[in-house]
Amino acid sequence: MTDTIFALATAAGRSAVAVVRVSGPRSSEIAAALCGRLPSPRLASVRTLKHNGVALDAALLLRFEKPASYTGEDSVEFHVHGGRAVVEALLAALSELGARLAEAGEFTRRAFENGKLDLAQAEGVADLIDAETEAQRRQALGQVGGALSQRYDRWRDLLVQALAMLEAAVDFPDEDLPEEVAERARPGLRQLSAELNAALADVSRGRRVRDGFRIALIGAPNAGKSTLLNGLAERDAAIVTDVAGTTRDVIEVPLVLGGYKVLVADTAGIRETADVIEAEGVRRAKAWAEAADLRLWVVDGFHVKQADARPESIRVGDWLILNKTDIADADALAHVAERWAREGLTVLHAAGTSSEGPEALRAALASHVADALSGAEFPAATRLRHAERLSEARSYLERALSDVGLEVELAAEDVRLAARALERISGRIDPEDVLGRVFSTFCIGK
């Protein structure tokens, strides 16, 4: 028989109210042992909880009968006073009555196993609990509501239709030319291929909303990168001195800009150096910058020659920050600005040490991030797992398209594999280790 599990569902520590959930076949029996007469399902009722003849607390009870519950099992919620001793006494009593402390994500895993939600929706639940920004909240809520699953289901349906046509071509012994019959599947496959390509081109958007848009500050030593970081963060996150080569490690600061999570990284000034520690810092700076979504190339406006050559990782669309405008020569800056704007960089003037400099930079970044991450459609991937399955499906689909006219059976097999790759997003056919990995990232009680 399935275990009956319990856990504190609210945050640990002192609080006004704490919620303890119990789920599994013995939920009602265990609740009755604590509260005497059971309340009707879905009706909040006050009961005194007693264990071994000792009163534990006066609690509000909510009882759910399967399958109409979060987990799809019989379950009970105890809303008790949120004192540590109250919660501990209740948890100890539940354990003595034969329930077991739930593992991380076990309630949601049971909901998944009972068909209450699919794996993508379950991931949405975890993301909603972790959401710290407005954009993360919106995206996670959409995912819980099935926005991601619906996209994949539609694509899968298109594949199933194409597969039916291909199978018909294979199965018709009277047809002389099964390839011609199979050709009927081609338009649908082509349309799907176009949609998958568009989705893959946009594949990082959902992950960036969830994990943060990555911005790297790079440039020569002493250009003022750490000063700008501190200005953006509104605290002394990085050490600033007039010694060139002050920053060695990559310093990542999470920010919320325009409702989006952003990770800004200050990095070591890039130069040739014999110092092994600094050299390692330069290597890390370059690596972080390469993988970032946007690079801010910071140039000391007083030493405007720094802008003669751009660092290797700077590419079209990145930003040039002409810093130290308070001590720089305006004409020289204008000249440099014009040149790099022509070469495809967005150029901003700033004085990191002023209050307006970082403020204007923050506003410009906020609008850039919002443009990059907002979209008309729900993103096709919010985790790496989704992106990997999507690109796997695309490869099978491409192979199927090239085989349709030649080897119908091979094409059919590839369409089947593409559908399976998409089905794995919803977790229906995923192996145990994938499920274990997803649910282990949940908190206990969810």
Ligand X SMILES: Nc1nc2c(ncn2[C@@H]2O[C@H](COP(=O)(O)OP(=O)(O)OP(=O)(O)O)[C@@H](O)[C@H]2O)c(=O)[nH]1
Least Cα distance to 400 among 267, 28, 392 occurs for: 392
x/- contact string, 243-262, with ligand X (CB under 6 A)?
Answer: -xxxx---------------
Enter the tokens of residue 381: 């991937």
Please, what is the angle between helix 384-403 and helix 408-426, to 10°? Answer: 170
Q: Based on the shown chain and the rule CB under 5 A, indicate whether residue 226 belongs to the binding site for Mg ion.
A: yes
The site partner of 174 among ligand X, Mg ion, none (C-beta below 5 to 8 Å per kind) is: none
Q: Based on the shown chain and the rule CB under 5 A, indicate whether residue 136 belongs to the binding site for Mg ion.
A: no
Q: Based on the shown chain and the rule CB under 5 A, indicate whether residue 161 belongs to the binding site for Mg ion.
A: no
H-assigned helices in 219-324:
225-233, 276-291
User: Minimum CB separation from Mg ion for residue 318, in Å?
Assistant: 19
Among 75, 247, 323, 426, binds Mg ion (CB under 5 A): 247
DSSP string, 365-427: HHHHHHHHH--SSPPS-SSHHHHHHHHHHHHHHHHHHHHTTT-HHHHHHHHHHHHHHHHHHHT
The site partner of 352 among ligand X, Mg ion, none (C-beta below 5 to 8 Å per kind) is: ligand X
Contact 426, 112 (CB under 8 A): no
- Spatial separation of the C-alpha atoms in residues 37 and 384, rounded to whole Å: 49
User: Minimum CB separation from ligand X for residue 67, in Å?
Assistant: 59
Q: Based on the shown chain and the rule CB under 6 A, indicate whether residue 327 belongs to the binding site for ligand X.
A: yes
Among 159, 351, 411, 419, binds ligand X (CB under 6 A): 351
The site partner of 189 among ligand X, Mg ion, none (C-beta below 5 to 8 Å per kind) is: none
User: Minimum CB separation from ligand X for residue 269, in Å?
Assistant: 3
Q: Is residue 444 within a helix (H) or strand (E), and if so which, with residue range?
A: none
Counting residues that bind ligand X (by CB under 6 A) gives 23
Q: Based on the shown chain and the rule CB under 6 A, indicate whether residue 326 belongs to the binding site for ligand X.
A: yes
Q: How many C-beta atoms surround the C-beta of residue 58 within 10 A?
A: 11
The site partner of 323 among Mg ion, ligand X, none (C-beta below 5 to 8 Å per kind) is: ligand X
Q: Based on the shown chain and the rule CB under 6 A, indicate whether residue 382 belongs to the binding site for ligand X.
A: no
Enter the tokens of residue 222: 């002493």
For residue 289, the SS3 value is helix
Q: Based on the shown chain and the rule CB under 5 A, indicate whether residue 353 belongs to the binding site for Mg ion.
A: no
Q: Based on the shown chain and the rule CB under 6 A, indicate whether residue 269 belongs to the binding site for ligand X.
A: yes
Q: Based on the shown chain and the rule CB under 6 A, indicate whether residue 306 belongs to the binding site for ligand X.
A: no
Span near Mg ion by CB under 5 A; candidates 31-39, 179-187, 241-249, 291-299: 241-249
Q: Based on the shown chain and the rule CB under 6 A, indicate whether residue 45 belongs to the binding site for ligand X.
A: no
Least Cα distance to 180 among 414, 404, 401, 398 occurs for: 404
Contact 311, 270 (CB under 8 A): yes
Interface residues with Mg ion (CB under 5 A) are 226, 246-247
Interface residues with ligand X (CB under 6 A) are 221-227, 240-242, 244-247, 268-269, 323-324, 326-327, 351-353
